[in-house]
Every structure is written in C-alpha cells, then in structure tokens.
Amino acid sequence: MNENVRGIVIYGDGVGTKLGYPTANLRMPKYRKLKNGIYAARVRYNKKEFQGIIIIGVPSESNSEPKLEIHILDFDKMIYGKWLSAIVVKKIRKLQRYSSQNTLVKAIENDCQQARKILNMI
C-alpha cells in the first residue's frame, strides 16, 4: 500500500482525547487515493518513527466533513501546528458508525492491537 500522508496538525473536535485516544488531525487532501477506513501506519514526527492508526472519513459521532486523523500509539505530546507524516501500511477495516461510546472505544482498542500486530511483522 505505502501511501504517504503528511501535513500540519490542526485542531479537531477533541472527541478522540475524551475517549482516551487523542488524534492528530490533518487537512483532508483535495485529491486522495485512500478510501474511508482505518489503516495501520508508520508515523514520523521530529525525526522519530512511531506506530499508529489513520482514520479517514466522517467520525461516528459526527455529521461533519470527512477527516483525516492519526492516533499515534504510545505518544502523548502536544503537536498542534507541527509537521507530521505517515506511511500507510495496511487497511485494518472499513469505517463504521457505533451505537455507543463503549462499543466505539472497544473498536479503537482492537484497531490499535491490530495495527501493532501488522507493524511488528514488518
């Protein structure tokens, strides 16, 4: 797959942070090859590489425009206004809506576990 994503981190709605999974939001490119979904990714920030998941599409609790969000695993720095890049490695699943926050959090936990497995095999 190896699609590159990059941009300056912008403020989002803060939903990921409230759920315990903060995300770095990037402006959605006008031309994008990636379809809506959840992807395992290698994330680069400040010359270091991290594991992460990329979420592309309309968040389950929103009716807003499509978003591109990156949750960086084992990372807790404030990076608003900073450059971030990622290489998409593999699609984990399609994007879907959830009926409760508990169900959404369990899905995010599973996405993070799947991303670790995928990225540790490479």
The pLDDT tens digits along the chain (122 residues) read: 678 889 999 998 888 899 999 999 998 766 567 888 999 999 999 999 999 999 998 765 555 677 899 999 999 999 999 999 999 999 999 998 888 999 999 999 999 999 999 999 87
- Scan for tokens 């989002």, then name that residue: 12
Helix, strand, coil percentages (3-state) for the chain, rounded to 5, are 20, 40, 40
Q: What is the CATH number of the domain that holds 53?
A: 2.40.30.30
* Cα 98 from Cα 105, distance rounded (Å): 10
In this structure, are residues 60 and 94 in contact, taking their beta carbons and an 8 Å threshold?
Answer: no
Label residue 15 exposed, middle or buried (CB < 10 Å: 0-12, 13-18, 19+): middle
Which residues form the domain of 56?
Answer: 3-120
Query: Quick one: how many helices (H) and strands (E) in the chain?
Result: 2, 6
Domain count, the chain: 1
